[in-house]
């Protein structure tokens, strides 16, 4: 009986020990999993922090040959254990022409044309958005219109790219500048559009400030002369008016009703204005309150610059002189055309009230002094 009890106690003890061991196993396993997981997460974080775009300069490949580039790239991939920009799973895309950063880019296979152009810094200020050429196997596949994709939602104008495709952005050939209450202001490129009505469609219609009772103003330069035309805002007149390259189109606004403007524009659309002069200022000197240099404006005449400088009370505006950039003096005449670097000299009037009073005081003092001296001499 005693032996039987001892055996039962031993069995109970073994059972308790086994139960305790079994109950402790999940805790140890969980701790081990947590430890392993933390280590994995830290290593993953380190890899992400070390990852950066691979380029020629940062990798130390600038000036290397093609074979050296391939060898260095393969060595870097083996040493780092991660994919690089030279990975064969990416596409090589050539983006050339009027983009801000032309060159060759490695892009994912699912890249569309607009994304690729954005990677190259976007289209330049004089580049065409509506005649983008996609070249494949050294021939032009098709010309695309990104304006139709961005503003009209035509997805077919933003194609997927293939490996070794070339995107070429040419210069914009025909542009107009649209200003006023329309939904898209600024320079607008034209292709087959010819009328004012077509321009309104490209500008995505009118905004809330449009004043349809006043005409549209079109500024155009023909042989160096400014021509200002007005077109009534009705479908017939706007459909018949033909727009030209370089036109500046101003739509009337409700807040400018009844006001007059000179329509002297500072720059034509898609154009570069350059003054071939060392100094592009106009200098005003002499009888003015604020003499100095003033920025050249092709629409300002001599009177405008003198008015900005503030002529004083006794300024002689009829006897002004112009000193050109070559130090040649020219007498001022009405309608004289200023050039960058000219100096306007405003003289003082010779006969003024102040001058007459000064001369009179001087003369009278001299006469009285002489008369007094004469009397003194006689008395002696």
Q: Which residues, other chains included, contact 307 with Cβ-Cβ below 8 Å and sequence gap of 6+?
A: none
Residue 224 has pLDDT above 50, yes or no: yes
Q: Which residues, other chains included, contact 239 with Cβ-Cβ below 8 Å and sequence gap of 6+?
A: 195, 196, 197
Helix (H) or strand (E) holding 103: strand 103-107
Measure CA of the first residue to CA of the last residue in the chain; give whole Å.
177
CA nearest to 280, candidates 322, 327, 339: 339
Task: Give the CATH superfamily of 175-256.
Answer: Outer membrane lipoprotein wza domain like (3.10.560.10)
pLDDT tens for 225-243 read: 999 999 999 999 999 999 9
CA nearest to 191, candidates 178, 175, 205: 175
List the helix and strand counts (H, then E) for the chain. 8, 15
Let me know: does 72 contact 64? Beta carbons within 8 Å: yes
Per-residue model confidence (pLDDT) at position 249: 95
Helix (H) or strand (E) holding 144: strand 139-144
Tell me the CATH number for domain 87-169. Answer: 3.10.560.10
Measure the CA–CA gap between 132 and 98, rounded to whole angstroms. Answer: 10
87-169 and 175-256 have identical folds: yes
More confident position, 128 or 78: 128
CA nearest to 247, candidates 274, 269, 214: 269
CA distances 46 to 33, 43, 80, 177, 212, Å, are 20, 5, 12, 52, 64
Residue 78 has pLDDT above 70, yes or no: no
pLDDT tens for 165-214 read: 999 999 999 999 999 999 999 999 999 999 999 999 999 999 999 999 99
Domain boundaries, given as residue ranges, for the chain: 87-169, 175-256, 281-346
Let me know: does 127 contact 99? Beta carbons within 8 Å: yes
With H, G, I as helix, E, B as strand and everything else as coil, classify residue 101.
Answer: coil
pLDDT category at 134 given cuts 50, 70, 90 is: very high
With H, G, I as helix, E, B as strand and everything else as coil, classify residue 211.
Answer: coil
CA distances 59 to 48, 52, 78, 101, 234, Å, are 17, 10, 14, 20, 63
Measure the CA–CA gap between 1 and 71, rounded to whole angstroms. Answer: 85
Let me know: does 286 contact 317? Beta carbons within 8 Å: no
- Please tell me the class of the 281-346 domain: alpha beta
CA nearest to 70, candidates 52, 84, 51: 84
pLDDT tens for 200-210 read: 999 999 999 99
Let me know: does 333 contact 321? Beta carbons within 8 Å: no
């Amino acid at each position: 009986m005693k032996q039987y009890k001892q055996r039962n106690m031993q069995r109970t003890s073994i059972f308790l020990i086994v139960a305790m061991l079994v109950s402790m196993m999940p805790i140890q396993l969980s701790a081990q999993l947590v430890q392993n997981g933390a280590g994995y997460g830290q290593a993953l974080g380190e890899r992400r922090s070390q990852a950066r775009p691979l380029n020629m300069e940062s990798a130390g490949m600038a000036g290397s040959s093609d074979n050296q580039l391939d060898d260095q790239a393969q060595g870097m991939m083996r040493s780092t254990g991660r994919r690089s920009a030279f990975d064969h799973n990416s596409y090589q895309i050539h983006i050339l022409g009027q983009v801000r950063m032309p060159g060759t880019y490695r892009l994912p296979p699912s890249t569309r044309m607009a994304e690729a152009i954005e990677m190259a810094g976007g289209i330049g200020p004089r580049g065409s958005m509506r005649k983008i050429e996609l070249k494949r196997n050294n021939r032009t596949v098709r010309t695309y219109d990104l304006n139709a994709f961005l503003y009209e939602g035509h997805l077919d104008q933003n194609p997927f790219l293939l490996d070794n495709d070339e995107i070429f952005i040419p210069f914009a050939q025909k542009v107009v500048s649209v200003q006023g209450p329309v939904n898209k202001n600024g320079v607008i490129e034209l292709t087959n559009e010819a009328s004012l009505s077509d321009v309104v469609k490209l500008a995505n219609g009118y905004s809330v400030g449009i004043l349809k009772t006043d005409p549209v103003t079109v500024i155009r330069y023909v042989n160096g002369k400014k021509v200002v035309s007005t077109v009534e805002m009705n479908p017939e007149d706007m459909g018949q008016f033909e727009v030209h390259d370089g036109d500046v189109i101003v739509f009337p606004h409700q807040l400018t009703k009844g006001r007059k403007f000179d329509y002297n524009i500072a720059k034509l659309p898609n154009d570069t204005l350059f003054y071939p002069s060392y100094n592009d200022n106009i200098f005003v000197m002499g009888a003015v309150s604020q003499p100095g240099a003033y920025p050249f404006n092709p629409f300002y005449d001599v009177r405008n610059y003198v008015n900005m400088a503030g002529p004083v009370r006794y300024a002689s505006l009829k006897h002004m002189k112009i000193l050109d950039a070559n130090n040649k003096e020219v007498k001022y005449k009405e309608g004289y055309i200023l050039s960058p670097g000219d100096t306007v000299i405003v003289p003082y009037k010779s006969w003024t009230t102040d001058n007459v009073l000064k001369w009179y005081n001087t003369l009278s003092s001299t006469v009285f002094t002489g008369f007094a001296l004469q009397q003194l001499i006689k008395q002696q």
